[in-house]
């Protein structure tokens, strides 16, 4: 004798409701901060997927590195050397270069220091774009990873370029605070900066003198006297500081409005695109152009 059991359909559990801020519920839009967090999370997930693919395939990173040494016979003709470096999770281009130097060829030469995107010494031309080696993840790049010295600058050896001209342009804008009304040290008076003014110049202070923007600028490539986006940005930092008096500001603007100053910029945004610190270089140059025009306006 068979028994028939009645099937009981269970009602699906309702998902727990997530609380939505009242202002967000009314507008139906995420806040800018939430959008940034979502983009960052999406990029992190994409990177983890790419890195897991490397792990599963037990891959090696294929580097094609520019080589040149004018002092060694047989190495005076530029070439590319291939290195196959074991991939590790979170590996950067700088990590791969250091491994290649330490394990395969101790003569491989490049600059690096802090490895935290602060010193600016390891700017390279990676897969056709100016980037910091210590900030660029191998998992984000197509292989082979092609590493070259910064374009438009003289190569000294391998990935090392001559930076003297770049530093000369930076110093040409007098990158230091000047104020004829500096209080006497004995008075212990502070030169206070308003919160609003600090916010205005904050992004310009992030420059790490890496030279990536200068290397990407077609104008700088054709005009050796052009101050360049890095130097002009440095001038912006001080010209817009409200603690300097008007005479000093006019002096800075005279430096910047010369023939090879801000007016040589053609607003191509290449410098802004490659800046590893996300400084709005082109916007700063345009604002200095406006300041130079206003200075020369006369009202009768």
pLDDT above 60 (res 3): no
Cα gap 63→60, rounded to integer Å? 9
pLDDT of residue 177: 83
In the chain, the number of structural domains is 2
Is the per-residue pLDDT at 106 higher than 70?
A: yes
Residue-wise pLDDT for 132-160, tens only, equals 999 999 999 999 999 999 999 999 999 99
Residue 56 is predicted with a pLDDT of 37
Contact between 252 and 235 (Cβ < 8 Å): yes
| pLDDT the model gives residue 298 | 62
| Rounded mean pLDDT, 246-267 | 91
Cβ–Cβ < 8 Å for 150, 128: no
Name residue, tokens 């030169």.
191
- For the residues of 109-153, what is the DSSP string, one character each? ------SSSSS-TTEEEETTEEEETTT-BGGGS-SSEEEEPPTTS
- Is residue 204 a contact partner of residue 279, using CB atoms and an 8 Å limit? yes
Supply 8's token pair: 């009981």
- Listing DSSP states for 59-98 in one string gives -EEEEEEEE--TTSTT-SS-EEEEEEEE--TT-BHHHHHH
CA distance 149 to 156: 9
Do residue 49 and residue 91 come from a single domain? Answer: yes
Where a domain ends, among 132, 159, 186? 159
**Which range scores top for mean pLDDT: 47-56, 157-166, 191-200?**
157-166
Residue 18 predicted with pLDDT over 60: no
- Indicate whether 55 and 73 sit together in one domain: yes
Backbone angles phi, psi at 283, to 5 degrees: -65, -40
pLDDT(295) > 90: no
Is 40 within the bounds of a domain? Answer: yes
pLDDT of residue 216 exceeding 60, the answer is yes
Q: What pTM was computed for the model?
A: 0.76
Is pLDDT at 8 greater than 60 in this prediction? no
> Is residue 153 in a domain?
yes
Q: For position 81, what pLDDT does the model report?
A: 96
Tell me the backbone φ, ψ of residue 260, rounded to 5 degrees. -105, 30
CA distances from 102 to 52, 95, 98, 148, 175 (A): 26, 11, 6, 19, 38
When pLDDT is cut at 50, 70 and 90, the band that residue 296 belongs to is confident
Asked if the model's pLDDT at residue 206 lies above 60, the reply is yes
Considering the domain architecture, whether residues 171 and 272 belong to the same structural domain is answered as yes
- Can you tell me the distance from the alpha carbon of 266 to that of 232, in angstroms, rounded to the nearest whole number? 14
For residues 290 and 171, membership in a common domain is answered with yes
Statement to judge: residues 173 and 144 lie in one domain: no
pLDDT band at 24 (very low <50, low <70, confident <90, very high): very low
Residue 19 inside a domain? The answer is: no
Residue 128 lies in a domain: yes
CATH number of the domain residue 61 falls in: 3.10.20.30
Q: What pLDDT was estimated at residue 62?
A: 96
Query: Quick one: 89 and 213 in the same domain?
Result: no
Of all residues in the chain, the percent with pLDDT exceeding 90 is: 64
Q: What pLDDT is stored for residue 2 in this prediction?
A: 44
What does the pLDDT look like over 38-88, one tens digit per residue?
887 887 787 666 655 544 345 899 999 999 999 998 889 999 999 999 999
Q: In the prediction, which pLDDT does 1 show?
A: 43
Q: Could you tell me if 93 and 138 are in contact, meaning their C-beta atoms sit under 8 angstroms apart?
A: yes
Residue 78 belongs to domain spanning: 34-159
Same structural domain, 235 and 292: yes
Q: Are residues 291 and 170 in the same domain?
A: yes
């Amino acid at each position: 004798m068979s028994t028939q059991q009645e099937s009981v359909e269970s009602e699906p559990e309702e998902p727990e409701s997530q609380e939505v801020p009242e202002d967000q519920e009314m507008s139906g839009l995420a806040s800018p901060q939430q959008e940034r967090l979502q983009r960052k999370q999406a990029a992190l997930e994409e990177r983890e997927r790419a890195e897991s693919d490397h792990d599963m395939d037990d891959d090696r990173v294929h580097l094609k590195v520019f080589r040149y040494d004018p002092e060694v016979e047989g190495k005076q003709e530029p070439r590319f050397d291939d290195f196959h470096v074991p991939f590790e999770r979170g590996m950067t281009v700088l990590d791969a270069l250091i491994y290649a130097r330490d394990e395969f060829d101790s003569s491989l030469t490049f600059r690096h220091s802090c490895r935290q995107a602060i010193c600016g010494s390891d700017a390279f031309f990676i897969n056709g774009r100016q980037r910091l080696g210590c900030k660029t993840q191998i998992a984000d790049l197509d292989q082979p990873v092609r590493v070259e010295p910064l374009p438009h600058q003289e190569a000294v050896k391998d990935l090392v370029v001559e930076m003297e001209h770049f530093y000369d342009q930076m110093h040409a804008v007098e990158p230091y605070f000047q104020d004829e009304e500096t209080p006497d040290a004995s008075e212990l008076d502070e030169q206070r900066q308003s919160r609003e003014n600090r916010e205005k110049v904050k992004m310009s202070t992030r420059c790490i003198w890496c030279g990536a923007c200068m290397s990407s600028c077609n104008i700088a490539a054709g005009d050796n006297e052009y101050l360049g986006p890095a130097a002009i940005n440095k001038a912006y930092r001080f010209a817009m500081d409200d603690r300097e008096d008007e005479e000093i500001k006019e002096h800075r603007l005279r430096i910047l409005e010369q023939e090879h100053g801000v007016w040589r910029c053609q607003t191509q945004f290449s410098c802004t695109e490659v800046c590893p610190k996300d400084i709005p270089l082109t916007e700063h140059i345009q604002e200095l152009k406006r300041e130079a025009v206003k200075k020369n306006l006369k009202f009768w």
